[in-house]
């Protein structure tokens, strides 16, 4: 009986929490394809992220239920996260239902439970399907060249101008966003057609009239159009490439290429995304560092900073003579200390924390080492990775133990220095030369006489 009451309480709590959240989206459908699974993608900063993959039964039926993270466009299909081929856009908000039949080239809504928003999305899909088929799903469409595509594009673009007449859904958010979806779809079709293999390609002079209206700065004023669209970042890059051809600008690699692309982008956050796309192709840390010296100021969002870190990490070799991480941390009195400020000194960094037993075991040896090196061009730094809530504990220990050297606070175990050097266990000792170059990122500990020898050898250079 007691167990039943506990289970009932858990169930009621779950139901209560669920009621506070939005209602789930329910999808059921039929897949008419040789493939036997259907994927669900969300849109994250203009790129697709797969969030579900469901198998069909023997007759091709499938179903899924999910709680939408946002109200807006999601993608259902059999394709991947890079291309729109075999993928279809739908608009979901909490409580929506979708009944759909999918095949390898299009979809059809079934029944009467589909939302007004997705009925409009289907009508838009039907109008633009010839462009989608020839531009995005072109591998299934057979050969199409600009000779047949351009006239069809101009005709559909003309019809799009009156498409929304009488189609208000009563959802103000959708009625506003569908305009952006339409603009991005047409841009996607037009640019992808030019940027994919064809048996014949037009010269710029042969582009149809619609291309003269496509301007990257127009869709890149803010992040909204790019970030809310499933392939937004790729569409922006493709459009910039087309605009460059129209302007007679050649593609350039490296920093010059980033600068040219970003000349078409007024929004700083999107400039950061463009820079990261280029940097992702780099093979060396020197290339990465050169680019980030210019474009680090555009790494404005959490995801951009995380991607920058992820791109940097595999390029790091930590070889002797390579540039050290340019750290900047406050000392016990709040004064900022940087590696650059210690030029002409050999620097020993002790990465530690007040809770770390092996770290504290090295303190007597560290004090002895500091005394032995007095008067030498050597600076010992103790870099605390204590959690911010333990800062007072750190300050107390400095005072109680009479700790010497430079005592710096890195503001937690997830600090930039630890991430850069992939420090997963402490204590860790690192040595840098007088010019801020790496000597070793895993030196002997103070309890090992070899550390003193190493520091004196570097100081004598």
**Distance separating alpha carbons of residues 390 and 355, to the nearest angstrom:** 10
Quick one: tokens of 212?
């003269």
Residue range(s) in the chain whose domain bears CATH number 2.60.40.1120: 20-219
Phi then psi for residue 349, to 5 deg, are: -110, 125
Annotate 206-231 with b (16+ C-beta within 10 A) or e (fewer).
ebbebbeebebeebbeebebbbbbbb
In a structure prediction context, what are the per-residue pLDDT tens digits for the chain, which is 461 residues long?
Answer: 333 333 333 333 333 344 345 799 999 999 999 899 999 999 999 999 999 999 999 999 999 999 999 999 999 999 999 989 999 999 999 999 999 999 988 999 999 999 999 999 999 999 999 999 999 988 776 789 999 999 999 999 999 999 999 999 999 999 999 999 999 999 999 999 999 989 999 999 999 999 999 999 999 999 999 999 999 999 999 999 999 999 999 999 999 999 999 999 999 999 999 999 999 999 988 899 899 999 999 999 999 999 998 999 899 889 999 889 999 999 999 999 999 999 999 999 999 999 999 999 999 999 999 999 999 999 999 999 999 999 999 999 999 999 999 999 999 998 989 989 999 999 999 999 999 999 999 999 999 999 999 999 999 99
pTM of the shown model? 0.78
Phi then psi for residue 434, to 5 deg, are: -65, -15
Please give the CATH superfamily to which domain 328-459 belongs. Answer: Glutaredoxin (3.40.30.10)
**Distance separating alpha carbons of residues 349 and 262, to the nearest angstrom:** 39
Instruction: Give the residues across from 63 on adjacent strands.
Output: 28
Residue range(s) in the chain whose domain bears CATH number 3.40.30.10: 328-459
Please give the CATH superfamily to which domain 20-219 belongs. Answer: Carboxypeptidase-like, regulatory domain (2.60.40.1120)
**Distance separating alpha carbons of residues 309 and 420, to the nearest angstrom:** 8
């Amino acid at each position: 009986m007691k167990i039943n009451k506990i289970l009932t309480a858990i169930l009621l709590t779950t139901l209560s929490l669920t009621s506070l959240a939005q209602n789930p989206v329910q999808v059921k459908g039929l897949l008419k394809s040789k493939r036997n699974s259907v994927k669900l993608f969300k849109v994250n900063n203009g790129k697709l992220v797969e969030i579900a993959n469901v198998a069909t039964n023997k007759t091709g039926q499938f179903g899924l239920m999910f709680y939408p993270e946002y109200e807006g466009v999601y993608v259902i299909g059999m394709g991947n996260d890079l291309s729109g081929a075999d993928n279809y856009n739908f608009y979901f908000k909490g409580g929506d239902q979708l009944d759909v039949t999918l095949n390898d080239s299009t979809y059809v809504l079934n029944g009467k439970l589909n939302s007004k928003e997705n009925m409009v999305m289907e009508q838009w899909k039907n109008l633009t399907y010839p462009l989608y088929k020839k531009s995005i799903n072109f591998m299934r469409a057979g050969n199409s060249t600009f000779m047949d595509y351009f006239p069809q594009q101009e005709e559909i673009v003309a019809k799009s101008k009156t498409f929304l007449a009488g189609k208000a859904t009563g959802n103000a958010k959708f009625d506003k966003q569908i305009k952006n979806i339409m603009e991005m779809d047409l841009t996607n079709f037009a640019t992808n057609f030019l940027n994919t293999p064809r048996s014949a390609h037009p010269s710029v002079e042969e582009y149809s009239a619609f291309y003269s209206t496509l301007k990257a700065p127009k869709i890149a004023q803010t992040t909204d159009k790019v970030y809310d669209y499933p392939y937004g970042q790729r569409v922006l890059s493709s459009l910039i490439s087309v605009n460059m051809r129209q302007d007679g600008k050649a593609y350039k690699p490296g920093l010059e290429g980033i600068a040219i692309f970003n000349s078409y982008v007024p929004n700083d956050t999107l400039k950061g995304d463009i820079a990261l796309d280029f940097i992702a192709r780099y093979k060396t840390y020197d290339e990465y560092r050169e680019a980030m010296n210019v474009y680090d100021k555009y790494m404005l969002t959490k995801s951009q900073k995380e991607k920058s870190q992820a791109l940097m990490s595999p390029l790091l070799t930590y070889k002797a003579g390579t540039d050290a991480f340019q750290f900047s941390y406050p000392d016990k009195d709040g004064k900022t200390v940087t590696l650059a400020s210690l030029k002409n000194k050999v620097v020993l960094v002790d990465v530690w924390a007040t809770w770390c037993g092996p770290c504290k075991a090295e303190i007597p040896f560290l004090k002895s080492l500091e005394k032995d090196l007095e008067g030498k061009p050597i600076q010992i730094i103790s870099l605390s990775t204590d959690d911010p809530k333990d800062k007072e504990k750190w300050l107390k220990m400095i005072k109680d133990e009479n700790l010497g050297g430079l005592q710096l606070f890195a503001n937690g175990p997830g600090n930039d220095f630890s991430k850069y050097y992939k420090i997963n266990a402490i204590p860790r000792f690192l040595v840098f030369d007088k010019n801020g170059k790496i000597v070793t990122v895993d030196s002997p500990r103070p309890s090992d006489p070899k550390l003193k020898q190493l520091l004196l050898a570097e100081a004598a250079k």
